[in-house]
Every structure is written in C-alpha cells, then in structure tokens.
Amino acid sequence: MARILITGSSDGLGSLTARALVKRGHSVVLHARNDQRAQDARTACPDAETCLVADLSDLSETKKFAEDVNKIGSFDAVIHNAGLYRGPYRKTKEGWPSIFAVNTVAPYVLTCLIHPTPKRLVFVSSGLHHGGDSSLEDLAWTARGEQGSRDSQAYADTKLHNILLASAFARKWPTVKSNSLDPGWVPTKMGGRSASGDIDAAVDTYVLLAEGKGPAEDVSGKYWYQSRLRSPMKEANDVAIQDKLVKQLEEIDGIKAPDV
C-alpha cells in the first residue's frame, strides 16, 4: 500500500484518481483550495485519509501547505494535479497571474519543500504544451502585465513548464521517479461536456505513475499519455531549457531545490 497526496482533488480527475487509488488499497490525502471545496472532496471520496486546505495561488499558503504535509508524515507519491485553465488574470500578492502561481510555481515549491522527498512525482501537463513558449521570456508575465495577458498562452506555457520540471527533477534526483502526463481532453468541469477523450484512460495513467508499476517501473523523466510513453515537443527535452526554468523559479520564489 502506498501513501499518495493529490493536489486539486475536490473534483474532476483528481477526485476520480483518489477514488481509484483508495479502491486499490492505497492511503490518499486530498487537497482543496478552501473549506467548502474540502467538504466536497471528502464527500466524493469518504475513505480518503484526510483533506488539507490551501489556496495554491498564494505563495505563503503554498509554503504553509508543504509544512502541513510534512507534519502528517511521509508520502510515496505526490500527484501535482491542481491547475487553472481559463479565466481572468487574477493577480497574486507577488504580482503574478494566478494561472502561473498555481500551475507552475506551486508544483515547484511543493516538490522542493515536501520532506522526505516522495519516491514518485507526477506532474500533470497537457497536449496544449506544444503551444508553450520555450524561450521562457517574461516567465511570470510581469513585463506584459494584465493588459497583455492571454489565458490560452499562459496555460500552454505552464503545461510546458510541468514537463520541464518533471524532467529536471528526474535528472537532479535519480532515486526519485518523476514523470509528466497528458490526461487528454476529457469531460470534466475543466474539459467541458463536449470533450471526446477517454476519462478512464486518463485516470489509469494517473494510477500507473502514482504506483510506479508495470510499464512505469523504473521509468523517470518521461511524458505519458494513456499509459504509454509519448514524445513531447522537442524543446521539452532540452536540458538547458529545463535548467533555465528551475533557475528562474529559484530566483522568483526564493526556494532552491534541495539535494536528495
């Protein structure tokens, strides 16, 4: 039995994956951004161990969330599922668009601050990462600001960041299996009812990487779709770009990735 933390697990793929993992005998810790969402998470997955609350668009809450996670013990796997897709700019206290804070900064910060480091890390990306900006210029949209923001571009950028982070941590920490996945366009609240993707196949991929068994055993730094390896955009495999992202995030949030 494994102990697994899933961010953004009050509904959608996070909740479905939590239920699937509990049925397989694992201990699952849920996460929600506020108390109401936490109640929704517990109702949907009543056999989960517990649910922690934190707004991951707030850097101070993200750091506190890592502290709360550490207080309740170690984890075998963390699934970085929480994410924003479309919507207004919603500037954070740090001046970042919330989509960057939740989709990029939060998984980086949590990966750095959760101790001991889990055996397996799962970063949720998207096929839309192919539209991401691999130059990493104006990473936090501070130069373009709210007037120059485009949520579709910001989302694509952050989904590229998720693949870069998974690969960067796989190289930095060879004892940790760190992978990313594309769940596909599936009919969740984020994907919409018209989505044509296979939601069961998406959940199966989450479970595969969280358990680290079968074709995922001893595999790290790869990108997955429907439980199979898939090639991301070529820039995602560029070590220099991966390292550039990590360095910029270290400077932006002041947290350096530790050695394992």
Instruction: List, for residues 164-187, the tens digit of each pLDDT value.
Output: 999 999 999 999 999 999 999 877
Q: What is the mean pLDDT of residues 186-209?
A: 85
pLDDT band at 259 (very low <50, low <70, confident <90, very high): confident
Residues recognised as catalytic: 155, 159
Residues above pLDDT 70, as percent of the chain: 99
Checking if the pLDDT of 234 tops 90, the result is yes
Is the torsion defined by CA of 178, 234, 96, 125 positive or negative? negative
DSSP-H helix ranges across 53-184 = 59-71, 98-100, 106-113, 151-172
Instruction: Match domain 3-253 to its CATH number in 3.40.50.720, 3.30.360.10, 3.10.20.30, 1.10.150.530.
Output: 3.40.50.720
Q: What mean pLDDT value characterizes the chain?
A: 95
Instruction: List, for residues 23-65, the tens digit of each pLDDT value.
Output: 999 999 999 999 999 999 999 999 999 999 999 999 999 999 9
Say what the pLDDT of residue 260 is: 65
Say what the pLDDT of residue 190 is: 73
Checking if the pLDDT of 191 tops 80, the result is no
Checking if the pLDDT of 197 tops 90, the result is no
Question: Measured between alpha carbons, how far apart are the two ends of the chain, in Å?
Answer: 23
Please tell me the distance from the alpha carbon of residue 15 to that of residue 230, in angstroms, as a whole number: 25
- Domain definitions of the chain by residue range: 3-253
